[in-house]
Amino acid sequence: MAASLSARPRSAGLLLAGCLLAVALSLPLAVLLGVADVPLADSLATLSGGGSAMARSILLEFRLPRVATGVLAGINLAVSGLLLQRITRNPLADPSILGISQGATLAVAVFLLVTVYSHAPGGNTLPDLPVAWLPAVGLVGGLCAAGLVHLLALRHELGPIRVTLCGVAVGALLHALAMGVIAGWGSTRVEILLEWLAGSLYARSWDHALFLAPFTMAGLALLPVLLRPLDLLGLEAAAARSFGLSYRRAFTAVLCLASGLAASAVGAVGPIAFVGLLVPHLARFVVAGHRALLVPVTVMLGAVVVTAGDLAGRLIGGADEIPIGVVTALLGVPVLILLLRKTP
């Protein structure tokens, strides 16, 4: 490994340092900046234990949990995208290709429909509803979709094309059902759902961060074990198996991990567009030849992209903040096109 690294002009150390710097800049900025102007001195005092009551409330109750949720969701989506792109051997794969986003959407739509009608007639604003359940409901919906795709693919020879086709088909079905539920709803309450659908970090609390943390930690703990199988899963199945990989077991393990990561993130923050698709490509572009750095760089960029995107949405939109999903889509599309042009 050392020999292949030294042959490269760009130093691996410099690259990692650059990514760490991006993390070190974007996270504090996302905490310190926002719609409500908190003086810098007050903010710093708050973070070191003092500060005014207002600053404490804004930073500790709103911004910090929001940034923490964003970091965890960003990591989950980015890693999930990387895993899915590898096992489907499809550069366009992301959590929506397995129907995870659509499954979560349908589950949340049905859940809101049921709870809104069983609730008091006045309760049509988001805080009045049992929104604390949304992440769990989204998670279950996403996992059910991924499980269905996996079962359908397992009936035949489990392989990248089979999984992709089953995923697209299941995703289309679930999307249609979700749209049917939403259209049939015919009420102004649709905006509750629309906000979740756009992918947002608005009003995310420590509960959301705590909900995501086990998934992120499980993912980060399992990644080192999966590094070599992931390399082999990028190869044709017959070749990977003859190199000694238990293909079905490795494929299933990676698929389960990717589904858990994506479904938890989608449940907590909604289907944030393009993060799962874009960040792995961005990471591949950044690491150039250093394949060994791809995973750590993907993790860091996932955290940076979501926090920076959310900060941009808050600063540009002001009081009517732009949902993170809209920001990542608006910025992500040109970046993706640029990357595709630069990669041979």
> Which residues are at the interface with another protein (CB under 8 A)?
1, 4, 7, 89, 225, 228-229, 231-232, 234-236, 238-239, 241-247, 284, 289, 291, 344
Cβ closer to another protein: 186 or 244?
244
Nearest-approach distance from CB 299 to another protein, in angstroms: 19
Cβ closer to another protein: 149 or 245?
245
Q: Is 162 exposed, middle or buried (0-12, 13-18, 19+ CB in 10 A)?
A: middle
Q: Are the C-beta atoms of residues 109 and 144 closer than 8 Å to each other?
A: no
Cβ closer to another protein: 318 or 344?
344
Give the count of beta carbons closer than 10 Å to the beta carbon of residue 99: 30
Nearest-approach distance from CB 335 to another protein, in angstroms: 19
Locus of tokens 């693919």: 153
Q: Is 228 exposed, middle or buried (0-12, 13-18, 19+ CB in 10 A)?
A: exposed
Cβ closer to another protein: 202 or 247?
247
**Cα of 19 vs its chain's centroid, Å:** 19
Nearest-approach distance from CB 171 to another protein, in angstroms: 24
Nearest-approach distance from CB 319 to another protein, in angstroms: 45
**DSSP code of 192?**
H
Cβ closer to another protein: 87 or 209?
87
Cβ closer to another protein: 10 or 228?
228
Nearest-approach distance from CB 239 to another protein, in angstroms: 4
Kindly give the interhelix angle for 160-185 and 100-118, rounded to the nearest 10 degrees: 20
Nearest-approach distance from CB 12 to another protein, in angstroms: 15
Give the residue from 195, 172, 218 showing the smallest Cα distance to 126: 195
Locus of tokens 């709870």: 115
